[in-house]
């Protein structure tokens, strides 16, 4: 069903704009033109967040934190094999996708661990990426409270994911 | 962001000095390289989506659409300026439908628009939390990956994902309402 969503949506938008006598070529091109300065303006923020993610991994800090928090996570029902995914998800979408594929390979795609990992991956967002990119052009950088709230909420969904996959 | 960036960077660099000093620069450059690839990919994705959005804006669809979502937006964000409301509606619906390429440009535009007005701090915080807790209903990338690995029932995870992601968003919205509400000021926009 979802494969029809985008083509049908685009079709309707194009037909409606023609009907409204919007110049399609000109308007589309002008919109597309905005993409370049856009990508340029978020580039430095991406660099910062990616440098941070790489250092976090390469320095072994992520492995240390993984070892420290694993027992606490287990108490809440998050298996130790999934700790890394829960930790990396707020930083990096591509990094967590790699961890997810690893889990699929290691434990089999239909195992409990793989299903829980899928739900964790699908139900949370890369919080720090959103924080850096969405606010690329913003003046206010007072984000500490919203970031903490988002991390807490995402963590709850991870706990819930491991719980619900045990039942279903 | 500064505090978080500072703390993690300091500890990471401190550790790397002791454990593997040779890796420091290469790791940082690798990060930069990934950022470059991602931005190049983003230019293309944004160009297509922003072209379509321009059509939506010019033809007035986005405005009509935003009016439909106005009650929900009002509940979540309080009163927001009309133009910001348009962008925010598009961002949130793109999020729900899992059109990840479309969410970011609309998100940035929403924040820019909100910032032009005073007393929108609460709305910005709420908008951020909703985006950061993910409201995507169909986890398309996970489904694709599971299918490609011959899962016996790739769609098994849809229902749990919807439940988990709704839970995280609800918790996020509640926490914002509880902890940041006192900063919310009544204010009229025209």
Does A130 reach chain B within 8 Å, measured CB to CB?
Answer: yes
H or E stretch including A45? helix A35-58
Find, among A89, A118, A114, the residue nearest to B140 by Cα: A118
Cα-based angle B137, B171, A91 (whole degrees, multiple of 5): 70
Asked if residue B86 lies in contact with residue B66, where contact means CB atoms within 8 angstroms, the answer is yes
Q: Where are the domains of chain B?
A: 61-183
Residue to mutate among B24, B27, B35, B174, with most A CBs inside 10 A, is B35
Res B160: pLDDT: 92
Res B140: pLDDT: 79
Nearest CA in chain B to A101: B145
Q: Where are the domains of chain A?
A: 27-167
Q: How far is A127 from chain B (nearest CA, A)?
A: 5
A·B CB contacts under 8 A: 303
**Lookup: tokens for A43:** 């580039």
Find, among A98, A94, A66, the residue nearest to B31 by Cα: A94
Does A99 reach chain B within 8 Å, measured CB to CB?
Answer: no
CA B176 to the chain's CA centroid: 16
Res B138: pLDDT: 78
* Residue spans of chain A under pLDDT 70: 1-2, 141
Res A1: pLDDT: 55
In whole numbers, what is the pLDDT of chain B averaged over residues?
A: 86
Other Cβ atoms less than 10 A from the Cβ of A137: the count is 15
Q: How far is A161 from chain B (nearest CA, A)?
A: 6
Asked if residue A50 lies in contact with residue A88, where contact means CB atoms within 8 angstroms, the answer is no
Q: Which residues of B touch A60 (CB under 8 A)?
A: 15-16, 19-20
Q: Rounded mean pLDDT of B71-93?
A: 89
- Crossing angle for the helix pair B121-132 and B100-115, to the nearest 10 degrees: 170
Q: Rounded mean pLDDT of B113-142?
A: 88
Q: How far is B189 from chain A (nearest CA, A)?
A: 20
Q: Which residues of B touch A59 (CB under 8 A)?
A: 11-13, 15-16, 19-20, 23, 27
Provide the ipTM.
0.86
- Closest partner residue to B1 among A46, A56, A131, by Cβ? A131
């Amino acid at each position: 069903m979802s494969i029809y969503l985008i083509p049908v949506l685009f079709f309707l938008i194009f037909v409606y704009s023609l009907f409204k006598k919007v110049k399609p070529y000109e308007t589309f091109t002008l919109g597309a033109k905005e993409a370049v300065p856009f990508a340029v303006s978020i580039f430095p923020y991406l660099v910062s967040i990616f440098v941070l993610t790489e250092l976090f991994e390469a320095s072994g800090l992520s492995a240390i934190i993984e070892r420290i928090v694993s027992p606490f996570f287990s108490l809440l029902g998050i298996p130790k094999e999934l700790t890394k995914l829960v930790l990396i998800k707020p930083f990096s979408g591509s990094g967590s996708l790699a961890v997810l594929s690893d889990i699929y390979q290691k434990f089999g795609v239909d195992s409990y661990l793989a299903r829980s990992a899928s739900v964790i991956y699908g139900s949370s967002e890369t919080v720090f990426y959103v924080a850096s990119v969405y606010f690329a052009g913003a003046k206010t950088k007072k984000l500490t409270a919203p970031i903490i709230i988002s991390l807490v909420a995402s963590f709850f969904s991870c706990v819930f994911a491991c719980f619900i996959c045990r039942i279903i | 962001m500064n505090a978080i960036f500072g703390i993690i960077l300091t500890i990471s660099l401190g550790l790397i000095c002791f454990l593997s000093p040779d890796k420091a620069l290469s790791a940082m450059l690798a990060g930069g390289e990934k950022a470059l690839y991602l931005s190049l990919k983003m230019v293309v994705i944004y160009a297509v989506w922003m072209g379509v959005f321009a059509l939506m804006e010019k033809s007035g669809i986005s405005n009509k659409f935003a009016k439909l979502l106005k009650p929900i937006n009002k509940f979540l964000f309080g009163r927001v300026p009309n133009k910001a409301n348009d962008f925010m509606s598009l961002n949130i619906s793109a999020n729900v439908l899992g059109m990840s390429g479309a969410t970011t440009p609309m998100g940035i535009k929403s924040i820019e628009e909100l910032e032009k007005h005073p007393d929108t701090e609460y709305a910005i915080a709420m908008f951020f939390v909703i985006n950061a807790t993910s409201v995507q209903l169909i986890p398309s990338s996970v489904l694709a990956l599971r299918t490609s690995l011959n899962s016996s029932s790739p769609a098994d995870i849809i229902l749990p994902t919807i439940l988990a992601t709704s839970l995280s968003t609800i918790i996020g919205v509640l926490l914002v309402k509880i902890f940041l509400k006192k900063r919310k000021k009544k204010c009229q926009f025209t």
